Amino acid sequence: MDVRDTDWSQVVTLYDQLAGIDPSPIVALNRAVALAEVDGPEVALAVVDRLDLGGYHAYHATCADADLAARRMPALRTRRPSSWQATAPRSRTSLAGATSSGSTETV
């Protein structure tokens, strides 16, 4: 199965059912990811922005992905938790650049 074949409306419906059983912010975050696929990133961001998950790494990844999709570039810069210090950017290691010997390519 290809991700393009995913019935995102059904995924949202299933998360609605799960939220009835376990109305946690993690369920709401995951539902918002599916909601972005159905109704667009702005709708998902309206949900995500109400969640108190600042210490949860997936929250920040979801926000960044939705902000990029919605082209909300200023939000990308201002969402940073206050606990992060402003430091010089570090190089990232690309998983795509990893070789079988374990060495990596810096991007």
The residues near 104 (Cβ < 8 Å, ≥ 6 apart) are 93, 94, 97, 98
pLDDT of residue 106: 44
21 SS3 class: helix
Domain boundaries, the chain: 3-82
Are 27 and 18 in contact, with CB atoms under 8 Å apart? yes
Look up residue 46 and give its DSSP letter.
H
Confidence of residue 83 (pLDDT cuts 50, 70, 90): very low
DSSP run (H or E) holding 106: strand 105-106
Q: How many residues does the chain have?
A: 107
Look up residue 105 and give its DSSP letter.
E
For residue 87, the Cα-to-chain-centroid distance in whole angstroms is: 23
The pTM for the full model equals 0.66
pLDDT of residue 68: 81
Task: Report CA torsion sign: 23, 25, 27, 33.
Answer: positive
Query: Regarding predicted confidence, which is higher, 77 or 16?
Result: 16
Q: Which residues face 94 on adjacent strands?
A: 105
